[in-house]
Structure 1
Amino acid sequence: MIIGRFALFFAFIFGLAATQAPEFWQQYKQRLGGAIDELAAIVTQFDTDATAQHLTQAQAIARLESDPDPLAQGRGVEIQHLIDRLAKLRHAAAAFDAPNVGAKWVALAETFDPQIAERAYEAYEPAIPTTPDGFISGIIGFVIGGGLVHLIGLPIRHRKKLFRRRNAPVEA
């Protein structure tokens, strides 16, 4: 009986917290878009410079990385890192365009970027969910919260079965 009340309480808390996910996703996606725009501008400028030297992007990076000057080598490594990060962020942005709420949860878990999440959290303000995504997220959180408490409470509810004394074996 007490576990049922705890389950209801935690289900409510998890549900309330989960309703905030769509607002955070919105902030995260906006930050993601800004980061993509910045990185795309840097990579485009690098590509323009490489093209002016009649080089492909890969050739320009290889030239920088093979240069004996440590500054040029570092620039080659850095631009490769920026290109890889841009691809990852574009993949994340595409994943957030899914209409399915569950897909957005999965997208955040799979493509989580700590820097962007930190900036999104700084801009995040709790909001009352009035969208279907907010409602569905609340239900998901409610079910997860209640389910976790029931799962944790299983040993308590069944303690008599789990911890009863067993009869000593009879010797023949």
Structure 2
Amino acid sequence: MPDDMNLPVSMPTLMPGQLLARGVSRHLRGHDFVCVEELVPTSGLRVDVMALGPKGEIWIIECKSSRADFQSDSKWQGYLPWCDRFFWAVGPEFPTELLPEDTGLMIADGYDAEILTMGPQTKLAPARRKVMIQKFARHAAVRAQTARDPGFVLPFGG
């Protein structure tokens, strides 16, 4: 049997927003948060990063790699009812004066991030928090299973 542990691992090429998401996720892990990317809180919305804290707090982080990327985002306010705190994550060269003042801000790259401004806290209702934690758990489990068994296709299509 071949020793798969010694085979080189090829890393996928990440898009700029995905690099920001990776840096954000690494940083938040240091604050005891776990993160998933591209979670759908409700039909028509897909957040870049959702973070789950040690006390069940839910943060949403939208990663914007350029002025055009930010200006084309018309859905971000729809994310606010699905989290306790909302943040933008941008690179160090991003013109932060474009971002709304009443939101959180992280400066990130592909390796780390720094929280410059905490987003205002708006506590989720317990029923919505339960739904979001269940979505988070299922999303994370599907991602883990797909990573372990990439050829497996779910019989119900998703």
- When normalised by structure 1's length, the TM-score is 0.24
Highest Rg: 1 or 2?
1
Q: Give the structure with the larger helix fraction.
A: 1
Structure with the bigger RCO (C-alpha within 8 Å, sep 6+) is 1
- When normalised by structure 2's length, the TM-score is 0.25
Q: Give the structure with the larger strand fraction.
A: 2
